[in-house]
Structure formats: C-alpha cells, structure tokens
Chain A
C-alpha cells in the first residue's frame, strides 16, 4: 500500500498519479503526460461552462426599496424657537399680546372661560393656569411666580422652577438636543431650548409614527399565503419563525412566557 492511503480525501486522479511510482511504472511517465493532458481539457471546459453559463450575480432577490422621505429624517428642530411674544399681522400692523391685553384687565385669580386662544390645548399637569407662566401685567413677558419677569427667550428658567432635575441635565447637555457640533469651541454649536422640542402648553412628548423596520431578510414569496396580511404590512420573519403565523397570538405567547 502506498503512503497516500493515509490521506483518503485526495481525489481519485491524484491517488492514481501518486500510485504510479510504486506500481512499477504503470502507467508510464509518458502515459501520465497523456492522462494529464487529456484531463486538462475537460476540466477547463467545465470551468468555462461554469463562468459563461452560470449567472454572474448570485440570485438575491431585489425588492423595491422603502421610500423614506427626506423630511422625516430632517435634523431641524421640531418646533420653532420663540424669542419673543407671538406677532399677529393685522391691517398692516404687527400686533403683539399687549395690543389687545392692555384693553382687558384681569385679577389674575379666578379661572375664566376662554373667549380667545381656544386653539391652545393646555395639558400641562397641575400647571393649568395661564398666569402661572404669563405675566399678568405685561403679556409680552413671562413671569416666575414669586420673582422677576422673563422674556420668551429666557423661558428655560421658568421651566426650571418645576423641572429642576431636567433643567440641570439640560444645562450640562444630558437632556435635550445639541445641534451643530460636538465640540464646545465650534461655531454653530447650540443646545436647543425647551420650547424647541416641547409645546409649553402640552409639553409631553406625544406618540410618533415609527419609520419602517429592517427588511433584510424579507423574501418575495412568503411560504404561507394566508398569513401574509399583517396590518397591511408583511413580516415574513415572524411568519416563518412562528408556528401560528399570527402576530397577535405570538404576542400573547410572549406575555405568558416572558
């Protein structure tokens, strides 16, 4: 037996070639040449067929890409920064709060039924009085209850009166958004103010519509046809991996076995 027998993984041709010297020169070196020569042809022909006939690109299905509008990933603040009181253009004049409010006085105490500003939804927890924040005497300003008046640009100090820990975090950059640059020294770096994200009248962050999730493993044809609709969208991964193919029942399952 030859030494090559300990390597059973070798190909047949190789074994035969290896066997040749031990077997008394049969096939002879010349026959070996012939053998190799006649093998090269078919091998290369097979390779050629492979390259020419086989599809160049692996057959990975291409799907219509999700269309995510650029506006939905914009870096602009959610709300406009308000550095002064709102201005109403009327009859060629720019009217600020006091243009009306100097005509109406208020004792600042009794809650009244709103005749104006009814578009404002006041959903700020316990803070349900206009004059908790707005200055009674000068409506163009804000007021800290026991302290000085503030301009609209200084609103964060007013918020800080109740939201102390959040204000502290915001001051140190741990709460809220920073735009422009991560580098403190750079031009254009700015920390967004409270009211650029939160509506002061209803400050809680509302629910948002999520953008579409990953689609990498979604393949064109789901195996089970009846399981396809799922809120009008498809989630084949879950369909494939779940015995029921039903998302609601899967969720139930997860609730029972968290």
Chain B
C-alpha cells in the first residue's frame, strides 16, 4: 500500500531514503565462523548477559526481602479469594505490619451487615471548621504523616454561596468560626453511582452492598483514573512510601479494605471507617466532632437519626447535577447559629453586598 501524502510529507523533511549504506559489513557466506565474527558475537553475548544480570538485580533484593512479596504478586482479587486465601493474605499483612512498624497487628476482613446501608449527614449550621475530624481520621485510618495525607477537606466558604471554587481549605485562623464564612467538610461521598468505580481499568475499586466504595490496595495499579473521575476530590494517591510513626499506628483494629497500611503507588480514600462501622461503631470523624455536626447511620432503618434527617431536614448533596447520587448529605438548621446570623437587608442595603446573598 502506498500513501503518497505521507511519502511526500516525509520527503519534505528529510532526503529521500537512500539505499541502505551497508550498516553491517558484508558477511561472508555461511562457511564456519571467522575470528572477527567470533570475537564480536562473543563479546556481545557476554556483555548482554552481564547487562541482563545487572538489570535484573533489583529482583534479587525483592527476593531476599521476603517470600511474601511473591505471594502478594499472585494474590487473587478480593472477590475471588476463598476464605483460606483471605486468611493467608491477612497473615501476610500482619507480617508486613510487623516488619514495617515492629508492632503486632489485628487485621480482619469485615463483611457488610445485612439490611444496612450507610448514610452520612452533616449539619452545616453546627460545623465550625475546627478540623478535629480531619486529624481523628488521619489517626484512625493510618494515613501517611509524611508525605501528608488527609481524607477530609474542610472548605471555608464565604457566606451565601455553595460554589466550591470559592472554598479555601488552607484557612489558617487563630480561632474558628469566622463570622463571614461557613465550613463545609468534604470527604468521600460513597456515591451510589460512583464514577470512580466505572473508570477503574482493573476493578480494584467497587461498591459494597452497604453502600461503601472500597479499594483493594493489593489490586490497585495506581493509574489514578479514579482520582480524576471523582467530582469531589475524595481520592488520594500515595506518591511515596507512606510514613507513620510506629507509636501512632492504629494496629489494634485494621480492616483489609480500610485502614491497613498502604504502600507506595496505590489509591486510598475514606471508607466510612468500615472496620468500625460494620461492627456497629461510629466513624472516627464523627466521634471526634465536638459540635455534633456529623450524623451517621443506617438509612434502611426508618427510625435512625439519618432517616429522620432525610425526612425532616432540607438536605442537599454536592454537585447533584453530576448524577453521582452521594450518600453524604448536608443540611442547615432552620436558624443560623447566633454568631452567624445575617441581618436582614434593609431597603437601603445595596443589592450587591454579601448580606443579600446570605440572608
């Protein structure tokens, strides 16, 4: 097949391909090996072998480290593991924690509960931006301290808007709340229609029956598609080996799908503390919240706190138009807290002021 256009294009930028200018010397007909040929091929072979050996030498380090490394390579996908294989995987994780942190660990694979779907609700009238949740989460979920990782972002939002672009999560005040702002914590919304799950090329992340979107850290290839797909900036990537002081490690309660230590090159995110919540406990961020802004529970139970909130409060989700169906709801009380009360704009108040937007 001839492609004249391409051919022309090529002719424009370079001289027409000359007949090969004999890149290799004429090789004598096959009649035994010449001395020169022998030396050349022999040298190439020796050099090549040495290079292969040198190139593969990092594998030697791997092998010397632990035979668990190889077992991990051949570990199956979470959903395909039998009970025994999962037990072996958990045992490997225990050994890994022991080796990395020199701490004995309790690692479990906790399954979802029947008849439970988790929902989170957050009262924006109460949240005062103190970031206790952020750091309780870091401690509970063994997030890397250096480089630093935090699942929860508390956005400081100007009054009168829900435009996330105007939020600032680097706010650095002496005291909070600031009376010109409200505070909007954002973490994984555990969407019922999660875009992050759809884009994963290896199915390393999926939605569990209780609504929690989880990641198999051993299956993740670190492509970060999910991070790009998430409209809430909820996923975090381990660019470097996570570093956690051993004495701060939460080794007493580790879940395979949640807070076991991760390694470099995998994604992680909030899992609603599934190792806690699937045993009836409350998420760490909720327990640490001194204002009671956070509410968590089973939405299938009509009497649960979150059901009451969904029924009686005017809840909303972030970026509803994205169609992600989050399980994380926000609401305001009927009344602003006293310090956030915005005066009703009088007839003389200018219409462009923030007062008008916030009232």
Residues of A within 8 A of B (CB): 1, 3, 5-6, 8, 16, 19, 23, 26-28, 30-31, 34-35, 37-38, 40-41, 43-45, 47-48, 51-52, 57-58, 60-66, 68, 70, 72-75, 78, 165, 169, 172-184, 186, 192, 197, 204-205, 207-216, 230-231, 233, 235, 237-238, 254, 258
Contact = CB atoms under 8 A, between A and B. Distances in A.
B32 interface: no
Nearest to B285: A73
B19 to A, nearest CB: 7
A47 B55 contact: yes
A176 B293 CA distance: 7
A182 B48 contact: no
B166 interface: yes
Contacts of B149: 216
Contact of A5 (B6, B51, B289): B6
13 contacts: A1-B7, A8-B10, A48-B55, A51-B54, A60-B240, A62-B146, A64-B146, A72-B135, A73-B135, A205-B128, A207-B128, A231-B174, A258-B161
B51 A205 contact: no
B280 A182 contact: yes
A211 B135 contact: yes
Given A8-B10, A23-B20, A48 B54 contact: yes
Contact of B7 (A5, A26, A186, A204): A5
B166 A58 contact: no
A37 B48 contact: yes
A35 B24 contact: yes
Nearest to B45: A37
A213 B172 contact: yes
B3 A6 contact: yes
Contact of B334 (A43, A58, A165): A165
Nearest to B139: A73
Nearest to A230: B172
Nearest to A68: B135
B247 to A, nearest CB: 10
Contacts of A205: 128, 291, 337
A186 B297 CA distance: 12
Interface stretch (B75-83, B87-95, B218-226, B305-313): B305-313
Contacts of B57: 48, 51-52
A202 to B, nearest CB: 12
A1 B14 CA distance: 14
Q: Which has the most chain B C-beta neighbours within 10 Å: A47, A63, A176, A181?
A: A181
B33 to A, nearest CB: 11
A30 B30 contact: yes
Interface of A is mostly: loop
B172 A34 contact: no
B309 A174 contact: yes
Interface in B284-342: 284, 287-292, 295-298, 301, 303-305, 308-309, 312-313, 333-335, 337-339
A57 B176 contact: no
A197 B290 CA distance: 8
A179 B287 CA distance: 7
B252 interface: no
Nearest 5 pairs of A and B residues by beta carbon: A44-B51, A173-B305, A48-B54, A65-B145, A75-B287
Nearest to B179: A207
Given A58-B239, A62-B146, A214 B170 contact: yes
A182 B44 contact: no
B39 to A, nearest CB: 12
Nearest to A20: B20
Contact of A210 (B171, B240, B287): B171
A35 B172 CA distance: 63
Interface string B115-146: 00000000100101111101110110000011
B23 interface: yes
B27 A179 contact: no
Given A73-B139, A176-B292, A37 B305 contact: no
Contact of B130 (A5, A66, A209): A209
Given A184-B303, A211-B135, A40 B48 contact: yes
Nearest to A168: B312
B44 A60 contact: no
A78 B287 CA distance: 12
Q: Which has the most chain A C-beta neighbours within 10 Å: B169, B170, B277, B282?
A: B170
Contact of A65 (B123, B148, B153, B264): B148
A110 B163 CA distance: 53
B52 interface: yes
A27 B20 contact: yes
A255 B316 CA distance: 27
Nearest to B245: A65
A165 B332 CA distance: 13
B65 interface: no
A180 B313 contact: no
B282 A208 contact: no
A173 B308 contact: yes
Contacts of B282: 178-182
Given A75-B287, A172-B305, A235 B172 contact: yes
B289 A177 contact: yes
